[in-house]
Structure 1
Amino acid sequence: MSGNRTSGAASGDRFSTKGFIMAAIGSSVGLGNMWKFPYITGKHGGAAFFLLFIVCLIVVGLPILLAEMTIGRGGRGNASTSFLKLTGKKYWGAFGLLSVITAFLIMSYYAVVAGWTLHYTVESFSGMLFQSGVDYKSKFASFAGGYLPLLWQAVVMAICGWVLARGVSGGIEKFNTFLIPGFFIILVVLMLRSLTLSGAGEGVRFFLQPDFSKLDAESMLIALGHAFFSMSLGMGCMLTYGSYVSAQQSLGAATLAIGAGDLLYAFIAGLVIFPTVFSFGLEPGEGVGLAFMALPAAFSRMPFGLLFGGLFFLLLAIAALTSAISILEVPVAYSITKWKWTRKKAALYVSIVCFLVGVPSALSVGGVLGSFQPGGKTVFDWVDFATAYILMPLGGLIVTLFTAYVWKRAGEEAGLSGFWYRAWMTLLRYVSPILIILVFLYSVGLIRF
């Protein structure tokens, strides 16, 4: 691959059937399912919300996932040129370019968070993290407010760049095929440890006890939003991966496998998080506070906490890296085609520029740029908000409308006909666009309940 001046799709570098499924699951298995999904499930009705999430995944997540992969394989190009090749219209290539920009911006700050997970993994296994009397909130603030996160951000970019430089089959596929099985083994080990803790039942009840009275319109929009975001939709990842899939691969079967993997991960993650949190009398929460403050406090008081805490942060690091690689591949694939770079050159240049763009985000989480908050948000928060709540839904809407109304051979490329094709088109034409717009309006605060 090193001397090839074409993208993986054009050069014939392809995923194997197993490798594609692993890579796609690796892309969808991200940090959100670990530190967000369990909490919103417990807060909005437990098993009742989980069932609602499955419905939303079927109605919105899977149809758009299939659409993205179908465009990628049909166009055999990057997130921009696939649209152009399928229509011959330059403005569709411009629409596709939006996904490339979105992925680049997401990677600029996602690498910062991935770096935190690597730092905490090393600190966990070294025994430096779990010590008696530690204020984990202050510890995280001290770490995030310094310059060390820049080092770990650079490490993440170096790992991702190295994997991508090795190509599709030799880099992305091998990396995910090695890590994803190990990821699920660690996840199951942590689940078994959590479920055997004293008082674990209370956490399981918080997570899974069905309470349909807590379901409302807001719950539906939250479930819809998470179904969309958890599948890495709207940023070109699955479209780009789809361009590396062989013509013999069943995209329908792949879509179901990826959705099942995403669901399984989210479910087991909840059985890791909440039995642990409730067993040690901690408040259930989400996000950074849960992963880097509450759970370290629990592991520090747990027998063999150094081991299980280390495994937990290793789990987070794997989830972050496999997702980060799929995100970075979007601008790398674009650069190879746009500027005729070799894959190694594209991986190197894009990684360096992405790191530099992400420096302000890294330094705004309590660091020297922490006080710079235009509109009440830090640089990190603004990039997160712009990508997650504006650019990703817009990208998903473009994919939906393109597949439903513009590209006439989508069903043939997807391998769908008869009832399944009609059902897919009905969802893409009349259901998904409306729901994406509603999620967008709710996310930016224009709809409130």
Structure 2
Amino acid sequence: MQTDTVQHSSNVKTLPERFTSSGFILAAIGSAVGLGNMWKFPYITGKYGGAAFFLLFIGCLLFVGLPILLAEMAIGRGGRGNAVTSFQSLSKSKYWGAFGFLSVVGAFAILSFYAVVAGWTIHYAIESLTGGLYASSDFKSTFLTFAGGYLPVLWQAVTMVITGWVVAKGISGGIEKFNKVLIPGLAIILIILMVRALTLDNAAAGVEFFLKPDFSKLTAESALIALGHAFFSLSLGMGTMLTYGAYVERQQSLGKASLAIGGGDLLYALVAGLIIFPTAFSFGIEPSQGAGLVFMALPAAFAAMPLGQFFGFLFFILLAIAALTSAVSLLEVPVAYAMTKWNWNRKKAAFYTSVICFLIGVPSALSMGPLADFAPGGKTYFDWFDFVASNILLPIGGLLVTLFTGYAWKRAGEEAGLSGFWYNAWMFLLRYVAPLLVIAIFFYTVGIIKFD
């Protein structure tokens, strides 16, 4: 193994564990693919121009997403620490470390409510397997009854137990092995569900709605939506890719890794659309954004199709896998911070961060039931955590990565493995293009930029 070339401050602790090359790629893809790609990406693609929007999304990935992704991983590998100490080590400034702490907070906050939705998917997978999900044809009422009770807390706890256990096992023995099993499994389930969806009656209408290019629908608003989704779908701004980067070997090409991760994320989003829309059109379901499509509308489709109970089980297992691999990467961010900040061993850090994250997330699990009336400003506890973490902390975190890599860190090109034209192009995007676009995303998501 090559020794690190970066000189670290004597008072900054580094993370000693390492991914294998394939393990890192699979873990990073697992972090990137998540629930949003399954229920949000197909919807916004269909709404904003089909294949025209898809091409726009690819451009956003190439010119904003991948440059920031490469920057995050380079900071992590260069600093060999958590989201705080990596900035400190590379800049020799505590102020950059303080900014990095926003990523730790963001990842922790997102996991607190993300585990709730992940718990829903596990519950629905079991209910679909046993047939309990199809006991009633009123699937909206079924979901609202479930989400409005106390049972979501149990499934949130199950999610955190699984996530904490994987992270506690370490990088090679836990996170890497977990993703080496689940990501290939996810790919197999995706293919099975796509074939089933594409062979349904009227599937062609769904494919056409999803992929027929309509350039007239490309507007400034659709461009910002494509930018935002490219940013969030790669898990940027929350410290996950930075933290994973700290475990990457020197011989690993970060440029090639970025392309593999972006390609995996893009392929997952494409196949998700080829599952959702043919199924929706075949059974007369109006495509809608968010939990309603997945937990209320699609179960009706599974109930009506041959072997629907089996395919429903596969679908919700697919969602559960996507959710759990993302949850593992989110938990690793505060765990890495706790290990270096307080000198905790990995098991202790995983246990305490999991428990605290669970407790903070309990009100989110109850936001559609016992705590539904607690909605200051018209937002529930769940909505507020989602809004602050996703729309404020993440864009700020991504912006800081671009500014740090573009202006403050002089050896970024060396760590990223770029020189000449590619280094200059990367720096141009990080210094001038990505910051402005991330700020535009931020202004749009918080409502400063509005479209009538």
Q: TM-score, normalised by structure 1?
A: 0.97
Paired position in structure 1 for 2:372: 370
Query: Does the Cα contact within 8 Å between 2:15 and 2:246 map onto a contact in 1?
Result: no
Structure-1 residue corresponding to 2:420: 418
**Which string of whole-angstrom CA distances, capped at 9 and with x for unpartnered residues, describes residues 153-179 of structure 1?**
000000011001110011000000110
Structure 1 unaligned runs (5+)? Answer: 1-8
Give the whole-Å Cα distance in 2 for the aligned partners of 1:374 and 1:249. Answer: 48
User: What amino acid sits opposite 1:389 in the alignment?
Assistant: N
Is 1:51 matched with 2:68?
no
| Equivalent position of 2:30 in the other structure | 26
1:91 matched to 2:95 = yes
Asked if residue 402 in structure 1 is aligned to residue 378 in structure 2, the reply is no
Distance in 1 separating the partners of 2:85 and 2:299: 45
What CA distance in whole angstroms lies between the structure 2 residues aligned with 1:100 and 1:80?
8
Does residue 1:322 correspond to 2:317, yes or no? no
**Paired residue for 2:42?**
38
- Report how far residue 12 of structure 1 moved: 2.9
Equivalent position to 2:64, from 45, 49, 60:
60
On the 8 A contact 2:15/2:81 being kept in 1, the answer is no
1:218 aligns with 2:221: yes
- For residues 52-91 of structure 1, the C-alpha deviation after alignment (integer angstroms, 9 at most, x for no partner) is 0000001110000000000000000001100001111111
Structure 1 CA distance for aligned equivalents of residues 78 and 147 of structure 2: 43
Tell me the distance in 2 between the aligned counterparts of 1:203 and 1:314.
23
1:378 CA drift (Å)? 0.3
Find the aligned partners of 1:442 and 1:165 in 2 and give their Cα distance. Answer: 38
Does 2:119 correspond to 1:120?
Answer: no
Deviations 1:396-443 (A, max 9, x none): 000000000000000000000000000000000000000001111111
1:130 is displaced (CA, Å) by 2.1
Match of 2:404, SS? helix
* Other-structure match for 1:5: none
Indicate the SS of the match to 1:129.
helix
Tell me the distance in 1 between the aligned counterparts of 2:373 and 2:147.
Answer: 14
Letter of the 1:328 partner, please give it: L
Equivalent position of 2:17 in the other structure: 13
- Is it true that 1:291 corresponds to 2:291 in the alignment? no
Give the equivalent residue in structure 1 for 2:285. 282
Pair 1:206-2:199 in alignment: no
* Residues 239-278 of structure 1 aligned to structure 2 (within 5 Å): 239-278=242-281
Alpha-carbon distance in 2 for matches of 1:425, 1:91:
22
Q: CA deviation at 1:11?
A: 5.1
Paired residues in the alignment total 439
Amino acid at match of 1:236: G
SS state of the match for residue 254, structure 1?
helix
Q: Which residue of 2 aligns with 1:4?
A: none
Distance 1:193 1:346, change over 3 A: same
CA RMSD of aligned residues (A): 0.8
1:82 lines up with 2:92 in the alignment: no
Separation in structure 1 between the aligned mates of residue 436 and residue 154 of structure 2, nearest angstrom: 43
Within the candidate set 303, 306, 314, 1:303 is matched to: 306
Provide the rounded CA distance (Å) in 2 between the counterparts of 1:354 and 1:380: 13
The residue type equivalent to 1:134 in the other structure is S
**Amino acid corresponding to residue 144 of structure 2 in structure 1:** A
Q: CA deviation at 1:229?
A: 0.3
Q: Distance in 2 between matches of 1:402 and 1:393?
A: 14
Task: Report how far residue 286 of structure 1 moved.
Answer: 1.7
Describe the SS at the equivalent of 1:368: coil
Select the residue among 153, 166, 171 that pairs with 1:168. 171
CA distance in 2, matches of 1:91, 1:71: 16
Among candidates 239, 243, 251, match of residue 236 of structure 1: 239
CA distance in structure 2 between the aligned counterparts of 1:429 and 1:215, rounded to whole angstroms: 26
Name the CA distance, whole Å, in 1 between partners of 2:367 and 2:352: 24
Q: Distance in 2 between matches of 1:104 and 1:30?
A: 16
For 1:382 and 1:270, the matched residues in 2 are separated by: 28
Counterpart of 1:197 in structure 2 is 200
User: Residue 106 in 1 paired to residue 85 in 2?
Assistant: no
- Give the TM-score taking structure 2 as reference length: 0.96
Partner residue, 1:360: 363
Tell me the equivalent position of 1:151: 154
- Cα displacement (A) at 1:197: 0.2
Q: Give 3-state SS (helix, strand or coil) of 1:447's partner.
A: coil
Partner deviation per Cα, 1:370-389 (whole Å, 9 max, x = no partner): 01110000000000000111
Take 2:394 and 2:15, find their aligned partners in 1: how far apart are those partners?
Answer: 29
| Cα separation, 2, equivalents of 1:91 and 1:107 | 25
Secondary structure of the residue aligned to 1:281 is coil
Which position in structure 1 is the counterpart of 2:8?
none
Q: Distance in 2 between matches of 1:285 and 1:204?
A: 16
For the 8 Å contact 2:14–2:340, the answer to whether it is kept is no
Which residue identity lines up with residue 374 of structure 1 in the other structure?
P
| Seq. identity, % | 71
Output one character per residue of 1:330-363: Cα deviation in whole Å (capped at 9) or x when no partner: 0000001111111000000000000000011111
Structure 1 residue aligned with 2:390: 388
